[in-house]
Each structure stands twice: as C-alpha cells, then as structure tokens.
Amino acid sequence: MLGPPFCEELPPTQEFLADSLPLAMSTEPAPSILHVDMDAFYASVEVRDNPSLAGLPVCVGGPASGRGVISAASYEARKFGVHSALPSAEARRRCPDLVLLPPDFDKYTSVSRQVMAIFRRYTPLVEPLSLDEAFLDITGTERLFGDGEEVGHMIRADILRETGLVASVGVAPTKFLAKIASDLNKPDGFCVIRPAEIRDVLDPLPVSKIFGVGPRMTQKLNALGVQTVGDLASLQREDVSSRFGATGIWIHDLAHGIDNRRVNPKREEKSHGMERTFAADLSDQAELRQFLLSFCEEVAFTLRDKGLRGRTVTLKARFGDFRTVTRSKTLDYPTNLGPRIFAIAKELLQRVDQQPLRLLGVSVSRLEDVRRPQQQSLFNGNPSGRDQWMESNSRLIRATESLDRLRKRHGRGIVIPGSLVGRAQPSRGAEQVLEQAPEAQPDLTNSLLERLEQESEGGNKTPPSEGEYGA
Ligand code: TTP
Ligand code: MG
Ligand code: MG
C-alpha cells in the first residue's frame, strides 16, 4: 500500500552504492535470483472474493466523483487505458462500465503476509519490495528444492493453491534482470533469463525500463539519441559518466546486465512518509499547517513504532496544475518526535509558493536505528544550553509516551490535532500512505497535543538526541 516514493528518479545515493558490494564468492552468474510480483494485486484480491466480477474491468481506487486515483486495475480494465495513478474520473471516462471498488488495506496486508511466508519456505533470503513483490535468492538451496526455474514454478503453484491468486515470476542472475523478467510476460508470466540471453532480452527494451531512469532522464537520453537499453549499452562508459556522473555509471552497468546488489532480507527502510490529496485544493496556510501537523505526528509515531529515527525532513507539495515540488532540510541530530518534525515541515511549507495545493506530504529519511549511539558535540562548550534542551526534550518525550499509550490502546487515529476537529478530513485516495483510524476521539488528547504544538513553536534547534525517545 505504500505509495510511490517521493522522488520519481532514483539516482544511486551513497547509501545505495554502499549496498552494491560484489556478490560473495560468486563465480558463475547462475539464474538464482527470483522476482515475484502479484498480478493486478488489489484488484485480483477483490475479484477473488467476489467471483461474479471475473472478466470485468475492475479497479480499486478512490471515488470517481471526487479526486480519487486508481490504485490497481485488472487487466480487463487496462484494455481501456486504465492504470494505477490515473484519476478515477478519467478512468470512468475511458471505461464507463468500470467496476470501481474502495481499497481494503487490511485484506491486502493479510494476503501479503501469506505470500511472503510462502517465499520463506524456499529461502531465508527474501527481500520484500512492497506488499505484492519480493526478491528471493535461492543460492545454496538448490539441493533441497531445485534450481531457480523449478523453485519459481513451485512458488507460483503454492500461491495459486493457497491464496487463489496469480503471480508473475522472473528468474535471472541479478536483481535487475529478475525484475525485468517478471514483467516481460505479465500477467500470469514466467520468464528465465540465462547469461547467454541477456543481450537479446535487454537490447530492445526502452531505456526507461532501467531502474533509476525516470521520465526526466529518459527525456535527456532520448535527446542524445538513446531510445533503447541497447543504445545505452553501446555508448562509452566514460561518456555516460561524464554526462550523468555516478548515476551514469550505474545505468550503463545495468544496460550491460551488471548489477551486484545482493538480496538483502533486512532491507533497511530508506524513508517513511505520508501524503494526501485534498478533496478540494487548499490555500489556507493555517489549515495546511494543521494537516501537516497531523501527518508529522503520524509519521513520527510509525518511526517510533519501528524503532527508527531520521534526520532529513522532506515536504512535498502539488499545486492545482499538478506541478510538484519538494523541499528538504537535514537536522544535525535524528528525531522521531512529531513536534520536532513539524517544526521543520512548517518552515519548509513557508518556502513553497503560496498557491492552492492539491496534495501535501511529509517524509523523513536518513533513518537509523534508535539504538545507535549519538554524537554529543552539538552543545560542546555550552552546558547550560544543553541542560535546557535536555529538560524540554524530556518533557516532550514524556508527553509523547502518554500519547503513544493512547494510540496503542485506542487506535492511532485517536490522536489528531485539536484544530482539525470538525473539519473535513482529507480524501482517502490511493496516495494516502498511512491510514487513520476512523473513530477518532480527539477530545481526550487535545490538551496534550496543544502542549506539543507549543513545544514545536520553540523552533527547530536540533538537539543532542542521546536522550531521544526510544533510545
Ligand atoms: P504493482 O505490482 O505495481 O501493480 P499491480 O500488482 O496492480 O499490477 P501488475 O503487477 O500486474 O502490473 O502494485 C501492487 C499494488 O500496489 C497495486 O495492486 C496497488 C498498489 N499501487 C498503488 O496503490 N498505487 C500505485 O501507483 C501503484 C503502481 C500500485
Ligand atoms: Mg503487482
Ligand atoms: Mg508490485
């Protein structure tokens, strides 16, 4: 259910490159990496549970009357040009007989757990990428279950038998190729790419199929006469690198089928965020700030729940004409406290054109485990500043702990900013990353929240966080 990430292109960040260590002792690039992805996932679950919908153009998404967008489209619906992220109203225009259903995230999450458990029967090396897909590395388990091709068939059969759903599977020597392979014959696809076939498969693909090549880079590459992966592979590595830097090297390697990323079962979350499309464009700054506060609280709660904290706060804003901007700020110390995140997000909101917004979001990245030890340098030479800060931080932590207890007992939606009470809630579109419990009873918590809001007014001086909540 996680929406698309905050940036449309994925340049290889330092972190990402650090992940790309050579495969340990790998000599033969056997096709032992699988990528499994469910077909039309949300829509297929709905059809499974209501077989009278079989064969119909079915979609899951927000309402066509409002500003909902399509989350998932059955392959019948795709024949009408309907796809994920298309506004539902446009989908309805393209396909007047469309069956449009609201999402049931609990159901999709539970199917996802079932599917991931099937994967783990065959190997512990399972790296989930989203609810409906994962990479698997079966190196070393061949004697038990057979080679990649055999395991791929068994997994597809298990999924069909145990969930009634269809998955597409790609098997290849690398992650990049396995993902390409699972997509090649979708739906109900199965494809093995062996080392000798790599060039034949890659050459004709549009260059946008390369992981990290988004719409903007595709345009730049097209302008250089590069349309296909084969075109990119035929360029000199130095030329691509001088134009596009580290990203150039990365995409040139991929175009040659080189991808040393390992399947990482403990894949670290790179960011966590939340965004909403409003029912009507919103220009009132006070109202936008109130939404932002509720997002920051929600994101912070999830970070605490996962034992994480982060340093970079990114605000995303989409205007009525779909122009989208992001603004980021990195703190000296990581945090998982809503008011601290809000203090930054509020400042970032002020740096965005004050025009009506269609969508607003906030995310926190550069995440780390709360158990990681912190530097203590910020207040060096100013012990009283440090004491003052520690005291205010302890208060914030205590208030946050009380709120978290309420959230855990009554549902996270119980805690919403007092100032949002009685206002229209944002639309529950597909871009919504986190769900808010519908039965919010904010009265209980308003005074606590007001205190937290006041705390956050104290600016965003970033604290030494060895006392940080959860540490
Ligand atoms: P995908 O695997 O990208 O798409 P899909 O399973 O619907 O279709 P297929 O794989 O056969 O091409 O995404 C998995 C689910 O994630 C999808 O069913 C709904 C959700 N999703 C969104 O909510 N918004 C989106 O923009 C996308 C792409 C997916
Ligand atoms: Mg899918
Ligand atoms: Mg998927």
**Measured distance CA(379)–CA(123) in Å, rounded:** 48
330 is a domain residue? yes
pLDDT of residue 464 exceeding 60: no
> Could you tell me if 345 and 444 lie in one domain?
yes
22 is a domain residue? no
Residue 423: domain span = 271-467
At 175, is the pLDDT very low, low, confident or very high (cuts 50, 70, 90)?
very high
Instruction: Say if residues 71 and 198 touch (Cβ distance below 8 Å).
Output: no
39 is a domain residue? yes
Percent of residues, the chain, with pLDDT higher than 90: 61
Domain boundary at 215, 241, 265, which?
265
> Could you tell me if 240 and 122 lie in one domain?
no
> Could you tell me if 426 and 287 lie in one domain?
yes
Catalytic (active site) residue 133: yes
Helices (H), 351-382: none
> Could you tell me if 350 and 210 lie in one domain?
no
Residues 6+ apart with CB under 8 A from 31: 147, 148, 149, 171, 172, 173, 192, 193, 194, 195
Domain count, the chain: 3
> Could you tell me if 43 and 100 lie in one domain?
yes
In tens, the pLDDT along 113-150 reads 999 999 999 999 999 988 899 999 999 888 899 999 99
Predicted confidence at residue 36, as pLDDT, reads: 98
**Measured distance CA(134)–CA(5) in Å, rounded:** 17
**Token pair of 334, please?**
């990581």
pLDDT of residue 400 exceeding 60: yes
In tens, the pLDDT along 279-336 reads 899 999 999 999 999 999 989 988 988 888 999 999 999 999 989 999 999 988 899 9
* 37 Cα: distance to centroid of ligand 1 (angstroms): 9
**Measured distance CA(251)–CA(314) in Å, rounded:** 26
User: Looking at ligand 1, which atom is closest to the CA of residue 42?
Assistant: 18
List the CATH number of the domain containing 189: 3.30.70.270
User: In which residue are the tokens 């399509």 written?
Assistant: 70
Candidate of 41, 69, 108, 428 to mutate for ligand 1, largest count of ligand atoms within 8 Å of Cβ:
41
Domain boundary at 137, 166, 197, which?
197
pTM of the model: 0.64
User: In which residue are the tokens 């995230």 written?
Assistant: 105
> Could you tell me if 302 and 374 lie in one domain?
yes
> Could you tell me if 243 and 317 lie in one domain?
no
* 162 Cα: distance to centroid of ligand 1 (angstroms): 21
334 is a domain residue? yes
DSSP of 420-434, one letter per residue? GTTSPPPP--TT--S
List the CATH number of the domain containing 252: 1.10.150.20
**Measured distance CA(383)–CA(436) in Å, rounded:** 41
Predicted confidence at residue 307, as pLDDT, reads: 82
108 lines ligand 1 (CB under 6 A): no
* 132 Cα: distance to centroid of ligand 2 (angstroms): 6
Instruction: Say if residues 328 and 314 touch (Cβ distance below 8 Å).
Output: yes
> Could you tell me if 94 and 167 lie in one domain?
yes
> CA of 178: how far to CAs of 183, 354, 372, 452, in Å?
9, 44, 34, 47
> CA of 37: how far to CAs of 40, 177, 210, 434, in Å?
9, 14, 17, 22
> Could you tell me if 388 and 279 lie in one domain?
yes
Instruction: Say if residues 466 and 393 touch (Cβ distance below 8 Å).
Output: no
User: CA torsion sign, 283 to 286 to 287 to 293?
Assistant: positive
**Token pair of 295, please?**
């997002």
Domain boundary at 219, 235, 265, which?
265
Predicted confidence at residue 241, as pLDDT, reads: 93
pLDDT of residue 448 exceeding 70: no
105 is a domain residue? yes
Task: Considering every ligand atom shown, identify the ligand nearest to the alpha carbon of residue 84 and give its number.
Answer: 1
84 lines ligand 1 (CB under 6 A): yes
128 lines ligand 1 (CB under 6 A): no
DSSP label at 63?
A: -
Instruction: Say if residues 212 and 178 touch (Cβ distance below 8 Å).
Output: no
> Could you tell me if 190 and 338 lie in one domain?
no
User: What's 270-292 look like in SS3?
Assistant: CEEEEEEEEEEEECCHHHHHHHH
Candidate of 75, 132, 188, 359 to mutate for ligand 1, largest count of ligand atoms within 8 Å of Cβ:
132
433 lines ligand 1 (CB under 6 A): no
Predicted confidence at residue 132, as pLDDT, reads: 95
6 is a domain residue? no
List the CATH number of the domain containing 366: 3.30.1490.100
What is the pairing mode between strands 167-172 and 190-192?
parallel
* 88 Cα: distance to centroid of ligand 1 (angstroms): 15
20 is a domain residue? no
> Could you tell me if 365 and 414 lie in one domain?
yes
434 is a domain residue? yes
Chain mean position to CA 287: 26
> Could you tell me if 101 and 248 lie in one domain?
no
Edge-to-edge order in the sheet of strand 70-73: 70-73, 58-61, 99-101
Among residues 46, 127, 133, 455, which one is catalytic?
A: 133
In tens, the pLDDT along 64-120 reads 998 889 999 999 999 999 999 999 999 999 999 999 999 998 899 899 999 999 999
* 420 Cα: distance to centroid of ligand 1 (angstroms): 31
Q: What would the mean pLDDT of 154-169 be, rounded to a whole number? A: 98
Task: Considering every ligand atom shown, identify the ligand nearest to the alpha carbon of residue 4 and give its number.
Answer: 1
42 lines ligand 1 (CB under 6 A): yes
Predicted confidence at residue 62, as pLDDT, reads: 92
At 377, is the pLDDT very low, low, confident or very high (cuts 50, 70, 90)?
low
At 423, is the pLDDT very low, low, confident or very high (cuts 50, 70, 90)?
very low
> CA of 251: how far to CAs of 35, 220, 232, 242, 470, in Å?
20, 13, 8, 13, 39
158 lines ligand 1 (CB under 6 A): no
